[in-house]
């Protein structure tokens, strides 16, 4: 059975008659045609397209008013986006998705509702369990998922600077001239000091390339005690 979570931290398990069978994965390769010649030239790095899929099935009940109540509750639930869509209720991976409508077909004089809910996940990754580490100086973080994870890095106290390096990838974030608790959010690509946006204090390399944790062991060194939190990601 499909499980859905909304932005109010509510969860709902859909009836057995609802299915989520087709899971797309589309990869875009940027190219430039070679005019007058065969083929094309690859002009950029391949990237994942947003995923579009459909939750569909039927809702049955001997009491027609119960079908209406079930539909009303479901539509109200879907309005609180984004939604975490789990392919099965017992799995811990979800797509962060938005509904694009809910076409309804009433059959047998309202005794059955056939429902389609087209969904789009603009972030195409499956997200798994969260993880958190607190350490100073150096640490090894093992990522056992298939895609790089984007961590949120936060100092555990007020500091005047921060340097964090992933010696495995060469990624580095340097914040200088600070005076407070530093948060480096690699998901939204922002840096705050005591909740104030301070991208002006971060190094250019981080602005261009960010900071990620790749599958396998990541050797992390830091100049301050930090807390790193992230979610495992999968293709």
Residues 88, 77: Cα–Cα separation, whole Å: 18
pLDDT of 111 reads 79
Which CATH code is given to the segment(s) 127-234?
Answer: 2.60.120.860
What is residue 201's DSSP assignment?
A: G
Q: Which CATH architecture has domain 3-124?
A: Beta Barrel (2.40)
Give the mean pLDDT per block of 10 residues along the chain (235 residues): 96 93 93 92 96 94 88 96 96 97 86 93 97 96 97 97 98 96 97 96 96 98 98 96
**Does residue 162 contact residue 181 with C-beta atoms inside 8 Å?**
no
Residue 79's φ and ψ, nearest 5 degrees, are -70, -15
Tell me the domain boundaries of the chain: 3-124, 127-234
DSSP for 106-166, please give it.
EEGGGTEEEEEEEEEESS--EEEEEEEEEEEEEEEEEE-SSB-B--EEEESS-EEEEEEEE
Residues 57, 74: Cα–Cα separation, whole Å: 13
Residue whose token pair is 């949120």 = 152
Residues 60, 110: Cα–Cα separation, whole Å: 9
Neighbours of 151 (CB within 10 A): 28
pLDDT of 110 reads 67
Asked if the domains 3-124 and 127-234 are classified in one and the same CATH topology, the answer is no
Q: Of 155, 154, 153, 157, nearest to 211 (Cα)?
A: 153
Q: Is 24 helix (H, G, I), strand (E, B) or coil?
A: coil
Residues 104, 164: Cα–Cα separation, whole Å: 52
**Does residue 17 contact residue 59 with C-beta atoms inside 8 Å?**
yes
Query: What is the distance, to the nearest Å, from the Cα of residue 7 to the centroid of all Cα atoms in its chain?
Result: 13
Q: Cα Rg for the chain, rounded, in angstroms?
A: 23
**Does residue 226 contact residue 139 with C-beta atoms inside 8 Å?**
no
- pTM, full prediction: 0.88
């Amino acid at each position: 059975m499909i499980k859905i979570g909304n932005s109010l931290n509510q969860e709902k398990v859909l009836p057995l008659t609802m299915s989520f069978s087709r899971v797309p994965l589309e990869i875009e390769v940027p190219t430039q045609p070679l005019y007058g010649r065969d083929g094309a030239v690859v002009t950029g790095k391949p990237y994942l397209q947003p995923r579009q899929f459909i939750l569909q099935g039927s809702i049955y009940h001997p009491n027609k008013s119960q079908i209406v109540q079930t539909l009303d509750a479901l539509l109200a639930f879907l309005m609180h986006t984004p939604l975490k869509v789990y392919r099965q209720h017992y799995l811990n991976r979800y797509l962060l998705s938005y509904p694009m409508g809910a076409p309804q077909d009433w059959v047998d004089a309202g005794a059955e509702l056939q429902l389609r809910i087209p969904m789009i996940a603009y972030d195409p990754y499956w997200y798994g369990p969260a993880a958190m580490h607190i350490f100073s100086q150096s640490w090894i973080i093992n990522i056992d998922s298939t895609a790089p994870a984007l961590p949120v890095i936060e100092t555990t106290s007020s500091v005047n600077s921060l340097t964090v390096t992933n010696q495995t990838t060469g990624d580095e974030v340097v914040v200088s001239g600070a005076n407070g608790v530093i948060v480096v959010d690699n998901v939204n690509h922002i840096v705050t000091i005591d909740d104030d946006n301070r991208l002006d204090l971060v190094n250019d390399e981080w602005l261009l390339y960010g900071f990620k944790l790749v599958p396998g062991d990541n050797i992390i060194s830091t100049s301050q005690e930090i807390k790193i939190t992230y979610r495992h990601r999968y293709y």
